[in-house]
Structure 1
Amino acid sequence: MTIHSEGPGGGLEAVRRAGIETTGIEIIDESERTAKPSDLFWPWFAANVSVFGISYGSFVLGFGISLWQASLVAVLGIVVSFAACGLVAIAGKRGSAPTMILSRAPFGVTGQKIPGVFSWLISIGWETFLAIMATLATATVFRELGWSSGDAVKIIAMIVVAALIVAASVAGYHIIMRMQSVLTWLTGLATIGYIALTLDEVDLDAVTSLPNGSGQAVIGAFVMVMTGFGFGWINIAADWSRYQRRETPGAQIVAWNTLAGALAPVILVLYGILLAGSSPELSEGIAIDPIGTLATVLPTWYLVPFLVASVLALVSGAVLGIYSSGLTLLSLGVKIPRPTAAFVDGVILTLGTIYVVFFAESFLAPFQSFLITLGVPIAAWAGIMIADIALRQRDYDDVDLFDSRGRYGSVNWVAVATMAVASVVGWGLVVNNFAQDASWNNWQGYLIEPLGLGTWVEDGSYWDGNWAYANLGVLLAFAIGFLATLLLQRGRVARQEERA
């Protein structure tokens, strides 16, 4: 599908000459599919090289596990989750359309709106979360420098951060790719500088003396890492591979996605484990203001470069989120141009940031609850999508992805039911780790007591039993989605690919 300009010198042509992407959810023209697999390195690495990754060291150790257990969890959780992103990204080069348009193949053109809503929510949540961290980090660094750190600083920081995120996402793919290639170097070098300047904070005796945790605690930490890294991006993974040539080997798409997404987080989380295990005070502060707390161990002269690099890294991640959330909004049937969709999501991002920064009492608790809650249906969707990709031998049909009367149909009730069952089972086997601070989420875990995996203690609002906090529901939701699709949808996919 081709976008036509208004004619020589027309408004749309002028916009395109400025480098702003006018393509929305339609199929990318063959002439525009010029990206190389290695080009995928820039957006994925830049979006995940944020110093915030170091904070996950505290989150992982919060499960009560040892150094070697935490290190294993970090490496496996990050690599496996980004490899899953790479598998979904294969669909992008096969169909040259956004992830949630390609999701119409397993769910149907109309049925796709069900996972689409969850995808939009998790993208909006992630980008808002990153904007919040950038705002809080700015205020903390200003305080460390002895400058003003009140509401005025937060307001200005919020405006600047939101403006950067929205402007880049409105501009679109080509400008974002150029921006990310620059940010990769800036944030990467600044992060290396942070590690070098804080090495003296590491107390190896303290870290290595941490006792081993239970196997259930290790599984819980593993699930948390997966949902916090690759699974947090999996619903938009094909958005960045849709400009790849269709003949590009799928193995290269997976390899570059995995390398780019996992490289920085593995290093950062491992270092974060060393830092958090060395200082209980630092670990506790991270729960309130992750990046701002990390700044407190830096020499004063490095605070400004640290702030700039940290904010840019967070902006980089948020740009990917808001760009894709705009595409998802369009896939749900909203009839507005792609730049306008990105702007609408930017307004929502700003309102969410205002609420958390100025009104919410807790930061980490709602975020963790949010991750696990939306992580369950997204995991179910990912299992269905990856299995569907594995079953297909041919490229997607460009026309039928937009026609409910075509080969993909209007609603595939088997896929919808699979996602529903997987989500219901999954939510029953995950728990709210912050039952007091985010009590609105205590409805989860309803299968734990019936299955003998734990007991809810009303006086204190916590679960008794190691399996309760393993959050098996995320893994089980993915497995149900994947296996059910492989078993029940093979014939449907074969019939679709037989049609000329």
Structure 2
Amino acid sequence: MASTTNSGIEKRSIEMVPDAERHGTPRSQFTLWFGANTQITAIVDGALAVVFGADALWAIIGLLIGNIIGGIVMALHSAQGPQLGLPQMISSRAQFGIIGAIIPLVLVVLMYIGFASTGAVLSGQAVNLIIGVQTPWVGIVIFGALTALVALLGYKYIHVLGRISSVTGLLGFLFITYCVLTQVDVPGLISGSSFAFPAFLSAIALSVGWQLTYGPYVADYSRYLPRSTPASKTFWFTFGGSVIGSQWSMTLGALIGAAAMTESGNLFVENQVAYVGDIVGGGVFALLIFIVILLGKLTVNTLNAYGAFMCTLTILTSFGNKATIRRWTRAVFVIGIVSLTVLVALLASADFLANFKNFVLALLMVFTPWSIINLTDYYLISKDRFDIPAFYDRNGRYGAWNWRALASYGIGVVVQIPFLAQSFYTGPMVAKLGGADISWLVGIVVTFVLYYVLIRNRGVAPKETIYPTLEELERK
């Protein structure tokens, strides 16, 4: 395979993938994103909707609506990959400028570290339950080492892991679903549901936020597809894998979270992985489910580590014209990033679920404006016409800064603050809306209108996409 060394380790980093090194079919996007979403953190995300106020039925409906909305946005980012052959955040330089793109990039790196850390906490539980160790740090460190190994190997092995976790996730989640349906009074949970608008919107926001956090790196895994791949196929396979996988997981989470409610509290809150093991009957069945959980989290945490590496290098290369990175440099960055996520996981608060909810909703606030700007430019302004060599040149077509995009982004974040409803802050508009948080909807509308008005007559897109030659790529 041209895109890897003889050892199988990926060769490309933040530069464009040449046509000769493209391979695969869009079906691979389905298995990758299905596997990435049939995992314990998605179950926890679904349970959050119930733990923090929604009844089971309306939580599931709200999560479905949010997954569809967020999945559309996420898949639209994925469709950019085959056309440009670039990591997602490199293309943000077309909107924000070479230096200006650092601002959303820093937030993306923080997102990767946050999600990877929460994943390490949950995976550490699974590892400890598998090997019979009580000390929390042991499982977290072992899981971190596995994550670093796969991330260092790169694209090819990430997809292999995605296919494996898709199969194991399918079998494991079928069994968990069977146990939930036979051991939990699902009709009773559903029939006893009452509608609460603020909690319903919160459920939508949780799943929208879940999907949107894939946006900054989803194209990193579709960029190896041949340039002739129809955008519609990339979109639908990505959308299907992500939405089906996440909705299934979140539905289980909502039912498990509702079933775990007792007069003294919620049993799921105490140890999420162990509680799932109890549902499937303990013993060997629990052991197999812990392995399924571990493989699913390994897939998504590898995506986080790989994406954080891409973004960190994009930040550092913004100050020069370099487009390629030595493999040993890549190894240092990946190991450093994974080590940081392990450290954060080890220092994680005991109030895991509440902090995780705040984390997801905070990400929704900062990434909604970025997604809207990127998609508006790609589909409505530049219309898939880019000067790819200029992505690596501060003096090129896109310049160092684009104040119009940065202003649109900043205002798109700030206007959401009065509408936020979180444990650490409640905006003044929330009470007037009956406690509902509509901040992300406000962010979408304001960012789109402002960016489109400021940029529509000032586009710098070429008449057709300019691609670098293979010689230029190797010379960088």
Alignment TM-score, normalising by the size of structure 2? 0.89
Post-superposition Cα deviations, 1:231-278, rounded to whole Å, max 9, x if no partner, equal 121111211111122232221111111001111222222233333333
AA at the equivalent of 2:10: E
Query: What's the Cα RMSD here?
Result: 2.3
| 2:296 matches 1:313 | yes
Q: Structure 1 residue 204: deviation in Å?
A: 3.3
AA at the equivalent of 1:113: I
1:437 is aligned to: none
| 2:270 matches 1:291 | no
Spell out the pairing of 1:236-255 with structure 2 (5 A cutoff): 236-255=217-236
2:47 is aligned to: 58
1:189 is aligned to: 171
Q: Structure 1 residue 428: deviation in Å?
A: 3.1
Is this contact kept in 2: 1:186–1:309, CA < 8 A? yes
- The separation in 2 between residues aligned to 1:292 and 1:197, in whole angstroms, is 15
- The separation in 1 between residues aligned to 2:79 and 2:132, in whole angstroms, is 48
1:199 is aligned to: 181
Is this contact kept in 2: 1:33–1:245, CA < 8 A? yes
Q: Structure 1 residue 67: deviation in Å?
A: 4.0
- The separation in 2 between residues aligned to 1:467 and 1:245, in whole angstroms, is 50
Higher mean C-alpha displacement, 185-194 vs 19-28? 185-194
2:199 is aligned to: 217
| 2:324 matches 1:342 | no
| 2:190 matches 1:208 | yes
- The separation in 1 between residues aligned to 2:332 and 2:363, in whole angstroms, is 26
Match of 1:173 among 145, 155, 159: 155
Distance change in 2, residues 1:288/1:474 (3 Å): farther
Q: Structure 1 residue 308: deviation in Å?
A: 0.9
Distance change in 2, residues 1:341/1:42 (3 Å): farther
Higher mean C-alpha displacement, 184-193 vs 60-69? 60-69
Spell out the pairing of 1:24-423 with structure 2 (5 A cutoff): 24-139=13-128, 141=129, 148-151=132-135, 154-227=136-209, 229-281=210-262, 284-299=266-281, 300-333=283-316, 337-356=329-348, 360-391=349-380, 392-423=382-413
- The separation in 1 between residues aligned to 2:149 and 2:265, in whole angstroms, is 34
AA at the equivalent of 2:367: I
2:445 is aligned to: 479
- The separation in 2 between residues aligned to 1:35 and 1:339, in whole angstroms, is 25
- The separation in 2 between residues aligned to 1:346 and 1:56, in whole angstroms, is 23
Does the residue aligned with 2:165 lie in a helix, a strand or coil?
A: helix
Is this contact kept in 1: 2:172–2:289, CA < 8 A? yes
Distance change in 2, residues 1:481/1:287 (3 Å): farther
Q: Structure 1 residue 393: deviation in Å?
A: 2.6
Distance change in 2, residues 1:369/1:271 (3 Å): closer
Is this contact kept in 1: 2:387–2:461, CA < 8 A? no
Higher mean C-alpha displacement, 104-113 vs 471-480? 471-480
Matched residue count: 452
Higher mean C-alpha displacement, 321-330 vs 59-68? 59-68
Is this contact kept in 1: 2:213–2:363, CA < 8 A? no
Distance change in 2, residues 1:466/1:280 (3 Å): farther
Is this contact kept in 2: 1:165–1:318, CA < 8 A? yes
- The separation in 2 between residues aligned to 1:471 and 1:386, in whole angstroms, is 24
- The separation in 1 between residues aligned to 2:167 and 2:79, in whole angstroms, is 27
AA at the equivalent of 1:374: L
Q: Structure 1 residue 61: deviation in Å?
A: 2.0
Does the residue aligned with 2:24 lie in a helix, a strand or coil?
A: coil
- The separation in 2 between residues aligned to 1:204 and 1:348, in whole angstroms, is 41
- The separation in 2 between residues aligned to 1:210 and 1:83, in whole angstroms, is 32
AA at the equivalent of 2:384: R
Higher mean C-alpha displacement, 122-131 vs 321-330? 122-131
1:19 is aligned to: 8
Distance change in 2, residues 1:148/1:338 (3 Å): closer
Is this contact kept in 2: 1:92–1:238, CA < 8 A? yes
Post-superposition Cα deviations, 1:460-483, rounded to whole Å, max 9, x if no partner, equal xxxxx7643x32212222332223
- The separation in 2 between residues aligned to 1:467 and 1:226, in whole angstroms, is 21
Does the residue aligned with 1:248 lie in a helix, a strand or coil?
A: coil
- The separation in 2 between residues aligned to 1:483 and 1:266, in whole angstroms, is 31
- The separation in 1 between residues aligned to 2:441 and 2:148, in whole angstroms, is 34
- The separation in 2 between residues aligned to 1:377 and 1:304, in whole angstroms, is 38
Identity %: 21
- The separation in 2 between residues aligned to 1:498 and 1:381, in whole angstroms, is 25
Does the residue aligned with 1:379 lie in a helix, a strand or coil?
A: helix
AA at the equivalent of 1:23: R
Does the residue aligned with 2:421 lie in a helix, a strand or coil?
A: coil
Alignment TM-score, normalising by the size of structure 1? 0.85
- The separation in 2 between residues aligned to 1:179 and 1:205, in whole angstroms, is 36
Does the residue aligned with 2:5 lie in a helix, a strand or coil?
A: helix
- The separation in 2 between residues aligned to 1:383 and 1:263, in whole angstroms, is 23
Higher mean C-alpha displacement, 201-210 vs 305-314? 201-210
Q: Structure 1 residue 285: deviation in Å?
A: 2.7
